[in-house]
Structure 1
Amino acid sequence: MHRVAAQLGVTKMALYRYVPGKAELVALMVETAIGPYPPVKVRHSGWREQLEEWAGQLFDVFRRHPWALDATVGPRIMGPAELSWLEHAVSALDGTGLSGAERMDAAALLVGHVRGITQQARATGPAGNPEAQLGALLGDLMQAHGERFPALTAALTSAARSHGQDQAWEFGLQRILDGLAALIDRRVR
């Protein structure tokens, strides 16, 4: 609060005229940065396409505002803009046969994937490719110790053929959606 007050050119106590505490200030910052879920440009007929678009939009938000990764963890105050994101994900699964709790869990699972990939991208910097960097580091280790780790050595050799192409985002997203599709199919039968 002290740092924010200094940047705004007011006293710390003056901030308390507008927000009761740090949690509310962070909530307002998240609301402003993330904003409401953007209007859908293309109407998707199925839940899968809706969630693919939703996850991609969230990934873009976290890339633009990496500080929001830390600000949006755990129980906290959430505003209407942030809730609109959750609403969109949960409502995409309406009519699938999943319970409300399962739809919430599906949204949480997707958020976890988005967060994990965004954190990896943030750690490697704007020009970094996390998979290529990890492959290079592990490649050196495997040259020295590959006989102890034959499965890992074979996997890294295979990955190197893709020239370190970063596939974790799409691979993880599709496996999550495949799992949801399998559960939905069981419910429909």
Structure 2
Amino acid sequence: MATEHDSVAASIELLWQEPVIGKRGPRPKFTIEGIVAAATAIADEDGLDAVTMQRVAERLGTAKMALYRYVPGRAELDAVLLDRALGGPPASPEGDWRSALAAWTLALHERSLEHPWSVTLAQRPHVPGPGELAWYESGLRAMGDLPLSGGEQLDVLALLAGHAQSMVRQRAGGPHPELDLADRLGPVLAARSADYPRTSAAFADAARGGGRDAALHFGIDRLLAGVAALIAERTDRARA
């Protein structure tokens, strides 16, 4: 029986294998990229739970056992599936660290929206591949001159990524989660506004001020403002 260590080793081999050039012998019938493309199509159409080795094999017109020559199992397939879904980050825009990290977070949100199931895979224990590590490298580069430890920089990325991905989860039911919630709550709050006065007032104010569905940008701004406050505090302390 394969152990967790075996699965990690197999995932690393799949994610980081170098392309073989000029190898002699019969050409493989399938490729990792082709298998991942089939799995991605199934996940996009029917959700992550629909992705099984059997379904992927059927989509490729082969028997399930034929795929194990290329992918040892579902855990290894998931690792490559996530890395291909994330791809690499876009080039960082010109500007300061705050604008670079804001753009990084928005780009991750947009990339995750293309394949919402990738959020589930990203939040499971997994082996990062070259695409995911490129996101790390890009985000860390933006903080290269900041008075933050390596661990703190990773924490900043974890907070930003977690916020972006939680917004993707919220949008799973539709493009305007706060508006949808307000519509569902409307009749309840109208009838029971005396019992929930603050909630009724907050939803009414959001509707008047156009503040609905702004949580993504609001969260990014507040997180980065918190980092900026920490940097200012350390700078002032160092000067003192």
TM-score, normalised to structure 2's length? Answer: 0.72
CA deviation after TM superposition for structure 1 residue 164, in Å: 6.2
Q: Which residue of 1 aligns with 2:194?
A: 147
131, 143, 149: which is aligned to 2:178? 131
Question: Structure 1: 5+ residue runs without aligned partners?
Answer: none
One-letter code aligned to 2:194: E
CA deviation after TM superposition for structure 1 residue 84, in Å: 0.6
Q: Does 1:188 align with 2:240?
A: no
Structure 1 residues 183 and 164, CA gap change in structure 2 (3 angstroms):
closer
Q: Does 1:43 align with 2:90?
A: no
Q: Does 1:63 align with 2:63?
A: no
CA deviation after TM superposition for structure 1 residue 39, in Å: 2.8
CA deviation after TM superposition for structure 1 residue 176, in Å: 0.8
- Considering Cα pairs closer than 8 Å and 6+ residues apart, tell me whether 1 or 2 has the greater RCO: 1
CA contact (8 A) 1:97 1:187 kept: yes
Instruction: Single out whichever of 159-168 and 29-38 deviates more from structure 2.
Output: 159-168
CA deviation after TM superposition for structure 1 residue 138, in Å: 2.3
99, 111, 122: which is aligned to 2:172? 122
Structure 1 residues 164 and 170, CA gap change in structure 2 (3 angstroms):
closer
Q: Does 1:91 align with 2:141?
A: yes
Aligned length: 184
Query: Max radius of gyration: which structure?
Result: 2
TM-score, normalised to structure 1's length? Answer: 0.90
Q: Which residue of 1 aligns with 2:38?
A: none
Show the 5 A alignment for 1:94-105.
94-105=144-155
Structure 1 residues 164 and 180, CA gap change in structure 2 (3 angstroms):
closer
Question: Structure 2: 5+ residue runs without aligned partners?
Answer: 1-52
Q: Which residue of 2 aligns with 1:13?
A: 65
Structure 1 residues 164 and 184, CA gap change in structure 2 (3 angstroms):
closer
C-alpha separation in 2, matches of 1:177 and 1:164: 20
187, 209, 226: which is aligned to 1:179? 226
- Please report the RMSD computed on the Cα atoms of aligned residues, expressed in angstroms: 1.6
- % of aligned pairs identical? 41
C-alpha separation in 1, matches of 2:169 and 2:151: 27
CA contact (8 A) 1:131 1:164 kept: no
CA deviation after TM superposition for structure 1 residue 34, in Å: 1.8
C-alpha separation in 2, matches of 1:179 and 1:88: 20
Q: Which residue of 2 aligns with 1:156?
A: 203
Q: Which residue of 1 aligns with 2:163?
A: 113
CA deviation after TM superposition for structure 1 residue 61, in Å: 0.6
The DSSP-based 3-state class of the residue aligned with 1:19 is coil
